[in-house]
Amino acid sequence: MKYEDYPAAAAPPGGSNPCDKCALRRLEAFLPCSPEELKTIQSFRVGARRVAAGGSIIEEHRRSPQLFTIYSGWAFRYKTLSDGRRQILSFLLAGDFLGLQDEFADGHTHGVAAVSDVTLCAFSRDRLWELFHAQPKLGYDITWLAAREEKMVDDNLVTTGRRNASERVAMLLMHLFRRAQRVGMERDGWVEFPFNQQHIADALGLSLVHTNKTLRRLQRLGLYKIDAGWLRIMEPHALEALGDYFERPIRPTPLI
């Protein structure tokens, strides 16, 4: 695995001292961070990266030399079986930290791909241990993020294992909407929604055709609207009840 295999780091978003000025840190969704921690994060950071919609962020069977925090855009983690069946494990958006699993498993974890154009902050994997050592608090925070991500996968597992098609779709729409809302992506009740039906099918463990039919049914019931890549939830309570999924207000989380 060589660094050169990766595109050169682009200019980090936000100028020369980006972590200070990072727009994400102004959101209520994220916990404040001491100047000292910020400095450590900054030194851990090696640059930014931009991946076009549809592009690959981490190859499925390769170990990325970097860890990332998503700055903007939607991505997803996935695994494929040898005959091509694909399962999306979870979706990622601003503030999500990725690449950690690779640290502890010898490759063969999961791939990450961009749905929309994605901007990422890149961190040096080599210095991860150093980070834990220098600032135990940041280590604790990373554990926090890992636990939070696992909780999301747990939820998805319940969905594919025990919910029927309508319930799955209802739950996913609410889940994605709420998460986007949380990081300030809502505009007049609409949220950017760059997913196609194949993404949804692969996330829910359904076929493309059945996903389409289910999506249409809920749309005809007036529960949600999708227009030109934007999503609006018309009947949040109905969708939550249908999916038996009640997202409680999420506590602020750390931002690395």
Q: Contact residues for a second copy (CB under 8 A)?
A: 77, 79, 81-83, 85-87, 89, 100-101, 103-106, 108-110, 129, 132-133, 136-137, 139-140, 142-144, 146-151, 153-158, 160-163, 202, 204-205, 244, 248, 251, 253
Instruction: Kindly state the helix (H) or strand (E) to which residue 148 belongs, with its residue range.
Output: helix 136-162
| Binder of residue 62, out of DNA, a second copy, none (CB less than 5 to 8 A by kind) | none
Of 20-28, 58-66, 148-156, 199-207, the window that binds DNA (rule: CB under 7 A) is 199-207
Written as six digits, the tokens of 99 are 């690449």
User: Could you tell me the smallest distance in angstroms from the CB atom of residue 146 to DNA?
Assistant: 30
Cα separation, 87 vs 72, in Å, equals 23
Q: Could you say which DSSP state residue 214 is in? A: H
Of 21-29, 178-186, 195-203, 246-254, the window that binds DNA (rule: CB under 7 A) is 195-203
Question: Does 212 interact with DNA (rule: CB under 7 A)?
Answer: yes
| Binder of residue 208, out of DNA, a second copy, none (CB less than 5 to 8 A by kind) | DNA
User: Could you tell me the smallest distance in angstroms from the CB atom of residue 208 to DNA?
Assistant: 6
| Binder of residue 116, out of DNA, a second copy, none (CB less than 5 to 8 A by kind) | none
Cα separation, 256 vs 239, in Å, equals 33
Burial of 87 (0-12, 13-18, 19+ CB in 10 A): middle
Longest Cα separation, the chain: 55
Q: Residue 3 or 104: which CB sits closer to a second copy?
A: 104
The residues facing 72 across adjacent strands are 119
List Cα–Cα distances, 48 to 8, 74, 90, 109, 119, in angstroms: 9, 16, 22, 23, 7
**What residue ranges bind DNA (CB under 7 A)?**
164-166, 196-198, 205-216, 228-229
